[in-house]
Amino acid sequence: MAALPLLLAGRFDEWLAAGATPPPPLWLFVHVPKTAGSSLTAEIATGLNPYRSLHIDHLDRSRPALERYDAAVEEALLAHAAEPFRFASGHVQQRHVARLAAGIPGTRLFSMLREPASRLVSDYLYQRSPMHPLAEEVRRRIPDFDAFLDLPGQRNRAARHLVPAAIVAAGDAAAAIAHLEAHYAFIGVQERYALSFRALCALLGVAHRPPVARMRVNSEAAAERAEIAARLSDPALAARIEAANALDMAIYHHVASRWDAIAAPLEAWLDRR
């Protein structure tokens, strides 16, 4: 059995054995935007190095972003062949994940999820904030949250990073969950960040300390965030978000419900280590 189902079933000793041994040549964090991934990366990179960021120049319009990530991945493979790094992360989509895993056999994957409506709100506000290199363009092109929800590229955003494009296109939740359980060693949830981080440290074999890094936190949009949060109580808007992001919802609820079940025994298991 792959590692992730063992974790979600509460079989922690078996999960650790399956996920951590033998040590992989590369741990790849598939970073779904606005899941506290920048903070997590900063924490993990202190204990799991060398580290490589899989990033692109967002101001480069010479080719689509996916193609720029293709190039970043090829550069990373060449760099790893010359001087291996142990940990990499980035907003890569599944085709990039597959290429890295094929190029570095034995690569192990982990990721984090967040409740999809909350993730959407956070991503919308971030893209309009001074922290984003294209904020002015985003504000011109996307005047409000409703317009953001209508963007095809923002639908099922987590699934686009985690599972093959054919599964996303089909909206096949069962296939998406099966893919995650077959290929990932760990998937945590932001709503249980402290426990997720602690379990991840055990898996990666890095010293655990309470997480302190808070990276890419947008604190300048409190009023707009509160306004959108109030709107989320509208059943019509909630239904619209769920319909447009059904695959993300299914993936999240599958994983989060199991975290609800394992949280207490996992904490006890970690305490005994």
Q: Report pLDDT digits (tens) over 71-94.
A: 999 999 999 999 999 999 999 999
Map tokens 């949250």 to a residue. Answer: 145
CATH number for 192: 3.40.50
Which portions of the chain are predicted below pLDDT 50?
A: none
pLDDT at residue 218 in the model: 59
* Residue 44 domain flag: yes
* Residue 61 domain flag: yes
* Residue 225 domain flag: no
pTM, two decimals, is 0.91
Rounded CA-CA distance 216/54 in Å is: 16
* Residue 145 domain flag: no
* Residue 85 domain flag: yes
Give residue 211's domain range. 3-116+162-219+251-272
Task: Indicate the DSSP class of residue 153.
Answer: G
Report pLDDT digits (tens) over 217-248: 556 667 777 888 788 888 999 999 999 999 99
* Residue 52 domain flag: yes
**Number of folded domains that form the chain:** 1
pLDDT at residue 217 in the model: 56
Contacts of 216 (CB under 8 A, 6+ apart): 38, 39, 126, 131
